[in-house]
């Protein structure tokens, strides 16, 4: 722990002038840089009574301290665009539950989370390959229209979603229309529970007057096809109606097909706050006892799904700019098929142009034996500081 | 169960149909400009030409809120074409890399660290008293119905005075009282009104930049000074530098290109 504190203080003292010098040297001829350093602590309470994490079999930590260096480099000149996002993290972990009870560990890791090489063949045609966190859609809870990955990273913006490998051919023939061919060639750093299979997708986008939609037709190697869709419509200056979903051409079981749908509305108030409601329906979701959902007990739930149950609701209040320095997100997610709920709060305070304090808290409630949200963690709290240059 | 699943599919198909078709015509275009008063339109067009370009323009915009508690400027690199714009934040450091995309009345915001761009309302303010529409080009000639008012003098320059009412939802402001210099044809002052007729902002413009249009060098907007007359009484100053008229390709305004 002392080692981490020492390294953090060293970074605080040395980073400012060093990064300013790097910026001055780097920002020329289309090269741009952004340096981000996060130092945060995490306190969590693993649920040890639940059937999926009995005696903390998932080995969840109780405390963590982390230092993360996240520089971004981009180069754009004429027909070429290159970017790379190397990451270095130093992590101290402590366990107070399960097999590792009383143990601590310090580790560090260097990796490339994202990189991209894109070439402009004409000003209507682009080809790219790289490791990307490729996301779309307007929803907060989950991205059911994305055939590659459903985690949209909105539960904790301080944690990055791992990049997957994609090749893309994008055609932008018109102001309103564009189309992309996308192939997902590798899972990269992301570890899916199921075996990785290549996926191919055709995505067509339309942006009309105060409305937009995208259709995504995808095919999984040695699997079936899936049609995804997301859309938004500004009913007025303040009200956005949106929807997102997908349907596959194969049934999961005799009485269930693979279909996910999400409907939402967000209302922007004049003073700044935005209120959002979402309902998510997962046709293949599980309504029975929680433990029966999993394959090791004969269930059919896909453990790569973000949410296992059938019906969920979300209500969120957020404001990103109070007094030009404070922002918050308050999100309540209710699982309608069991009694569990999740309350997420994100608070950010900008001390000045470079330093920001942040808090991300998640509290789960319900019956640990049968309820989804409380089956792994009772709560977790992130508290930290972010430096940006 | 099969019937139930089929029922769900039908229900959602109806939902999306309502979203796209019933509630608004997806492929509709805005009404075309009314051209009943040629001379007024000509005056407005000339004033517009010193504040943007329909084919495309790029510029650097610095925004300062004259307030003792906030002394940091926001700086944006802006690419604009008609109503659409892509603004990329260059400073302060905490906002570097943030992007705002306005296309066809839709707005998306992206900042480094976010997994994807998020749709935001046009109600969101840029900074201080400045709206996102203030850093885009103006197109008052086509967007507003003009009523002629008696001439007035601003800074010792005799001005045409027009009262403009928005003809399209795309316009940033509902009503504008607009002073255009008679000798130079440049818009010098604007008062902005709500639909109910309440004045809420006053802007004064200066033109120290120059751009080449065809064979001619013409003055171009360099500063907009915005005074909020209702809420804060703060003054927001937009400084526009390095304007370049250029053709901007469609891909600049494509939402798929926003993240990188």
| pLDDT single digits (tens) A35-44 | 999 999 999 9
B contacts of A234 (beta carbons < 8 Å): 105-106, 121
Nearest Cα to Cα of residue A367 among A47, A44, A58, A43: A47
Residue in the structure block whose two tokens are 């290109």: B257
Q: What is the pLDDT of residue B70?
A: 56
Q: Are A388 and A34 in contact (CB under 8 A)?
A: yes
Q: What is the pLDDT of residue A286?
A: 83
Q: Are A248 and A257 in contact (CB under 8 A)?
A: yes
**Average confidence score pLDDT of chain A:** 88
CA distance A79 to A91: 40
Residue B193 confidence (pLDDT) above 80: yes
**Residue B23 binned pLDDT confidence (cut-offs 50, 70, 90):** very low
Residue in the structure block whose two tokens are 């001829």: A29
Q: How long is chain B?
A: 260
**Residue A6 binned pLDDT confidence (cut-offs 50, 70, 90):** low
- Token pair for residue A81? 């665009």
Tell me if A212 and B249 make a contact (CB, 8 A cut-off): no
Q: Please provide the DSSP assignment of A101-142 as one string.
A: TT-EEEEEEEEEEEEEEEEEEETTEEEEEEEE-----S-SS-
Q: What is the pLDDT of residue B20?
A: 54
Tell me if B20 and A232 make a contact (CB, 8 A cut-off): no
Q: What is the pLDDT of residue A28?
A: 58
| pLDDT single digits (tens) B46-88 | 898 888 776 788 999 999 887 656 556 889 999 988 778 899 9
CA distance A18 to A282: 50
**Residue A321 binned pLDDT confidence (cut-offs 50, 70, 90):** confident
Q: What is the pLDDT of residue B25?
A: 45
Mean pLDDT, rounded, for A188-210: 90
Residue B21 confidence (pLDDT) above 80: no
Tell me if A174 and B250 make a contact (CB, 8 A cut-off): yes
Residue A21 confidence (pLDDT) above 70: no
CA distance A223 to A249: 10
Q: What is the pLDDT of residue B194?
A: 87
- In percent, the amount of chain A with pLDDT more than 70 equals 88
Mean pLDDT, rounded, for B170-193: 91
A contacts of B23 (beta carbons < 8 Å): 233, 235, 241
- Picking from A174, A209, A213, the nearest residue to B28 by CB comes out as A209
Cβ neighbours for A84, distance < 8 A, ≥ 6 positions apart: A72, A73, A112, A114, A115, A116
Which of B18, B98, B260 is most worth mutating to test chain A (most A CB atoms within 10 A of its CB)?
Answer: B260
Residue in the structure block whose two tokens are 């023939």: A173
SS3 B143: helix
Of A83-87, A315-319, A382-386, B21-25, give the lowest mean pLDDT range. B21-25
- Picking from A211, A259, A350, the nearest residue to B26 by CB comes out as A211
Q: What is the pLDDT of residue B94?
A: 86
**Residue B211 binned pLDDT confidence (cut-offs 50, 70, 90):** confident
B contacts of A116 (beta carbons < 8 Å): 260
Mean pLDDT, rounded, for A135-150: 91
Q: Are B225 and B204 in contact (CB under 8 A)?
A: yes
Tell me: cis bond preceding B92? Omega within 30 of 0 counts: yes
Residue A49 confidence (pLDDT) above 90: no
Tell me if A259 and B9 make a contact (CB, 8 A cut-off): yes
Nearest Cα to Cα of residue B165 among B137, B196, B122: B196
Which residue would you say has higher pLDDT here, B256 or A2? B256
Which of B6, B113, B129 is most worth mutating to test chain A (most A CB atoms within 10 A of its CB)?
Answer: B113
Helices and strands in chain A, H and E counts: 1, 20
Residue of A nearest to B250 (CA): A175
Mean pLDDT, rounded, for B152-171: 89
Tell me if A356 and B104 make a contact (CB, 8 A cut-off): no
Chain A nearest C-alpha distance from B181 (Å)? 33
**Residue B124 binned pLDDT confidence (cut-offs 50, 70, 90):** confident
- In percent, the amount of chain B with pLDDT more than 70 equals 80
Residue B36 confidence (pLDDT) above 60: no
Which residue would you say has higher pLDDT here, B52 or A354? A354
Buried b or exposed e, range A207-218, using 16+ CB within 10 angstroms: bbbbbbbbbbeb
CB count, 10 Å around CB of A284?
19
Q: What is the pLDDT of residue B228?
A: 81
CA distance B227 to B241: 21
Strand (E) or helix (H) holding A302:
none
| pLDDT single digits (tens) A336-351 | 998 899 999 999 999 9
Query: Residue A358's Cα: distance from chain center in Å?
Result: 17
**Residue A230 binned pLDDT confidence (cut-offs 50, 70, 90):** very high
Nearest Cα to Cα of residue A223 among A188, A167, A170, A184: A184
B contacts of A83 (beta carbons < 8 Å): 260
Residue of A nearest to B93 (CA): A389
Q: What is the pLDDT of residue A271?
A: 81
C-alpha torsion A23→A26→A32→A36, nearest 10? -40
Mean pLDDT, rounded, for B213-229: 87
Q: Are B240 and B222 in contact (CB under 8 A)?
A: yes
CB pairs under 8 A between A and B: 157
Which of A141, A209, A260 is most worth mutating to test chain B (most B CB atoms within 10 A of its CB)?
Answer: A209
B contacts of A162 (beta carbons < 8 Å): none
| pLDDT single digits (tens) A170-190 | 999 987 899 999 999 999 888
CA distance B95 to B74: 8
Q: What is the pLDDT of residue B71?
A: 57
Nearest Cα to Cα of residue A248 among A280, A223, A279, A230: A223
A contacts of B170 (beta carbons < 8 Å): 209
pTM of the model: 0.84
Most confident listed range (A292-296, B46-50, B182-186): B182-186
- Token pair for residue A37? 């350093």
**Cα separations in angstroms, A262 against A244, A339, A387, B11:** 5, 20, 36, 12
ipTM, two decimals: 0.86
Tell me if A232 and B106 make a contact (CB, 8 A cut-off): yes
CA distance A207 to A172: 12
SS3 A151: coil
CA distance B11 to B5: 10
Helices and strands in chain B, H and E counts: 3, 17
Residue in the structure block whose two tokens are 């608070």: A347
SS3 A216: strand
CA distance B143 to B146: 10
CA distance A371 to A360: 22
Q: What is the pLDDT of residue B13?
A: 67
């Amino acid at each position: 722990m002392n080692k981490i504190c020492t390294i953090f203080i060293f970074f605080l003292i040395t980073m400012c002038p060093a990064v300013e010098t790097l910026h001055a040297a780097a920002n020329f001829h289309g090269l741009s840089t952004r340096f981000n350093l996060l130092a945060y602590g995490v306190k969590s309470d693993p649920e040890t009574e639940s059937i999926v994490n009995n005696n903390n079999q998932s080995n969840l930590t109780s405390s963590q301290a982390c230092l993360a260096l996240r520089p971004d480099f981009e180069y754009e000149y004429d027909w070429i665009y290159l970017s790379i996002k190397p990451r270095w993290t130093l992590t101290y972990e402590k366990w107070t539950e399960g097999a590792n009870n009383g143990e601590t560990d310090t580790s560090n890791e260097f990796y490339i989370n994202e990189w991209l090489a894109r070439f402009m063949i004409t000003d209507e045609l682009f080809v790219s390959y790289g490791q990307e966190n490729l996301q779309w859609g307007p929803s907060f809870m989950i991205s059911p229209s994305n055939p590659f990955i459903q985690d949209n990273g909105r539960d904790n913006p301080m944690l990055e979603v791992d990049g997957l490998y994609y090749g893309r051919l994008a055609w932008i023939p018109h102001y309103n229309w564009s189309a992309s061919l996308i192939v997902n060639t590798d899972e990269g750093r992301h570890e899916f529970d199921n075996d990785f299979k290549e996926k191919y997708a055709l995505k067509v986008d339309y942006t009309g007057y105060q409305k937009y939609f995208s259709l995504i037709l995808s095919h999984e190697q040695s699997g079936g096809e899936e049609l995804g869709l997301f859309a938004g419509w500004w009913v007025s200056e303040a009200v956005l109606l949106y929807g997102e979903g997908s349907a596959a051409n194969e049934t999961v079981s005799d009485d269930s097909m693979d279909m996910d749908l999400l409907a939402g509305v967000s209302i922007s108030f004049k003073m700044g706050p935005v209120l959002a409601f979402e309902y998510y329906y997962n046709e293949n979701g599980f309504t029975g006892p929680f433990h029966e959902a999993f394959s090791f007990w004969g269930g059919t739930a896909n453990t790569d799904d973000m949410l296992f149950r059938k019906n969920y609701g979300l209500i969120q209040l957020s404001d990103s700019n109070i007094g030009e320095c404070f922002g918050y997100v308050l999100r309540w997610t209710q699982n309608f098929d069991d009694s569990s709920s999740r309350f997420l709060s994100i608070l950010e305070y900008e001390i000045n142009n470079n330093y920001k304090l942040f808090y991300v808290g998640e509290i789960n409630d319900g019956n640990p034996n049968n309820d989804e949200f409380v089956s792994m963690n009772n709560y977790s709290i992130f508290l930290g500081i972010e430096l940006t240059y | 169960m099969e019937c139930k699943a089929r029922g769900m599919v039908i229900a959602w198909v109806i939902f999306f149909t309502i979203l796209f078709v019933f509630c608004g015509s997806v492929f509709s275009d805005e009404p075309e400009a009314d051209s009943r008063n040629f001379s007024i339109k000509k005056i407005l067009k000339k004033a517009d030409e010193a504040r943007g370009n329909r084919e495309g323009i790029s510029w650097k915009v610095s925004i300062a809120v004259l307030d003792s508690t906030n002394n940091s400027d926001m700086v944006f690199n802006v690419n604009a074409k008609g109503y659409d714009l892509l603004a990329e934040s260059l400073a302060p450091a905490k906002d570097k890399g943030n992007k705002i995309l306005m296309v066809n009345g839709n707005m998306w915001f992206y900042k480094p660290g976010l997994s994807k761009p998020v749709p935001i309302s046009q109600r969101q303010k840029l900074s201080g008293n400045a709206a996102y529409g203030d850093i885009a080009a103006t197109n008052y000639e086509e967007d507003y119905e003009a009523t002629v008012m008696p001439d007035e003098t601003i800074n010792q320059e005799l001005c045409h005075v027009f009262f403009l009412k928005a003809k399209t939802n795309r316009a940033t402001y509902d009503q504008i009282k607009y002073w255009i210099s008679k000798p130079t044809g440049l818009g010098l002052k604007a008062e902005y009104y709500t639909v109910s007729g309440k004045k809420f902002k006053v802007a004064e413009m200066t033109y120290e930049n120059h751009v080449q249009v065809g064979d001619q060098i013409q003055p171009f907007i360099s500063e907009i000074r915005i005074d909020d007359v209702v809420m804060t009484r703060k003054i927001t100053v937009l400084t526009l530098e390095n304007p370049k008229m250029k053709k901007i390709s469609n891909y600049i305004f494509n939402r798929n290109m926003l993240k990188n």
